[in-house]
């Protein structure tokens, strides 16, 4: 018996297309009408493919509505839901993230330069020590300079370790903590577009006539609007909580990171002076 190919490609769905029977037990039945070469599948076998087609249809509708909403906002024709306080906090977070990334970049440059200076100080100390051995008349002067350069190089190791710890801590803040919040912000912005898209769609339907044909569409649009409004409010609350958490812990974080770095700077300065 030949089975005709489905009009939907197999790459679009995981389940087999209509007209192809999977091996294994199933609840559906296969019937072959007399005098016909076509295979007729029961409703139980059609359901998986139909469900996936329905998901694709819903996704297409949602994508179309959101794209239309975004274009309307850019053209100045559509309305946009804006939480001024939350938007200000999000913009402040984006600005702080850029500043923190610049601090990391500068601290990494400082660490690289300090590492090169320490290497040069070690070589200079060795050179003075060699001159001290080969120049008896200047033994003390060369020896003093050799010890000074070696001491500076040794103290630089403590400062370099503090700088690297500072870089690691700020990098964790930017790439993990703040980045996790930025992911939530992107989800919130997507939910906002979906909410406005379905809100606009419902407003347009409410402005039209109300009859037997439009009322089911209005009810369905009202249900979708309610779903996306709840999602939007939930995402907005999540973002607000995370932004509040970052703000509350900002002071303690920077006191911890900068305090250790500052102590290393002071210790290096004192040892160099005395």
Does residue 84 surpass a pLDDT of 80?
yes
Residue 26 lies in a domain: no
Mean pLDDT of the chain: 78
Pairwise CA distance, residues 166 & 100, whole Å = 12
Q: What is the pLDDT of residue 260?
A: 64
Cβ-Cβ contacts under 8 Å for 137 (sequence gap 6 or more):
none
Asked whether the beta carbons of 270 and 150 are under 8 A apart, the reply is no
- As a whole number of Å, the CA-based R_g of the chain is 34
CA distance 261 to 107: 11
Residue 42 resides in a domain = no
CA 93 to CA 188: how far, in whole Å? 15
CB atoms within 10 A of CB 39: 18
- Give the count of beta carbons closer than 10 Å to the beta carbon of residue 82: 9
Tens-place pLDDT, residues 197-244? 889 888 888 888 877 788 888 888 899 889 999 999 999 999 999 999
Q: 169 in a domain, yes or no?
A: yes
Give the C-alpha separation, 216 to 10, whole Å.
Answer: 34
CA quadruple 207, 211, 216, 222: dihedral sign = positive
Q: State which residues form the domain around 251.
A: 87-110+158-271
pLDDT band at 53, cuts 50/70/90?
confident
Residue 250 in any domain: the answer is: yes
Question: Considering the domain boundaries, does residue 95 fall inside one?
Answer: yes
Query: What confidence tens digit (pLDDT) does each residue in 151-194 have?
Result: 888 888 888 888 998 999 999 999 999 999 999 999 999 999 99
Q: Is residue 65 part of a domain?
A: no
The position carrying tokens 């990391």 is: 104
Using one digit for the tens of pLDDT, what is the confidence trace for 10-20? 333 344 444 43
Is the Cβ–Cβ distance between 124 and 147 less than 8 Å?
Answer: no
In this predicted structure, which of 9-23, 123-137, 143-157 has the lowest mean pLDDT? 9-23
Q: Judge if pTM exceeds 0.85.
A: no
Q: Is residue 34 one of the residues assigned to a domain? A: no
CATH number of the domain at 215, please.
Answer: 1.20.1270.60
Question: Domain total for the chain?
Answer: 1
Could you tell me the pLDDT band of residue 266, with boundaries at 50, 70 and 90?
A: low
Residue 162 lies in a domain: yes
């Amino acid at each position: 018996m030949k089975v005709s190919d489905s009009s939907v490609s197999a790459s679009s769905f995981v389940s087999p297309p209509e007209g192809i029977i999977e091996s294994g037990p199933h609840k559906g039945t296969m019937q072959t009408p007399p005098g016909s070469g076509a295979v007729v599948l029961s409703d139980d076998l059609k359901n998986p493919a139909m469900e996936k087609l329905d998901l694709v249809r819903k996704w297409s509708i949602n994508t179309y509505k959101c794209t239309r909403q975004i274009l309307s906002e850019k053209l100045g024709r559509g309305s946009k839901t804006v939480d001024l306080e939350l938007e200000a906090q999000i913009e402040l977070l984006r600005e702080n993230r850029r500043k923190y990334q610049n601090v990391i970049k500068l601290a990494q440059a400082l660490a690289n330069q300090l590492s090169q200076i320490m290497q040069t100080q070690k070589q200079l100390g060795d050179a003075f020590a060699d001159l001290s051995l080969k120049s008896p008349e200047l033994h003390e002067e060369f020896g003093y300079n050799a010890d000074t350069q070696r001491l500076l190089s040794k103290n630089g190791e403590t400062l370099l370790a503090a700088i690297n710890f500072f870089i690691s801590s700020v990098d964790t803040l930017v790439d993990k903590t703040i980045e996790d919040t930025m992911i939530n912000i992107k989800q919130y912005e997507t939910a906002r577009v979906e909410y406005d898209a379905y809100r606009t769609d419902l407003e347009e339907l409410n402005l039209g006539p109300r009859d037997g044909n439009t009322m089911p569409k209005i009810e369905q649009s009202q249900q979708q609007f309610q779903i996306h409004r709840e999602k939007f409010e939930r995402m907005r609350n999540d973002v607000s909580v995370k932004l509040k958490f970052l703000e509350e812990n900002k002071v303690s974080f920077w006191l911890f990171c900068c305090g250790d770095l500052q102590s290393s700077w002071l210790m290096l300065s004192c040892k160099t002076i005395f």
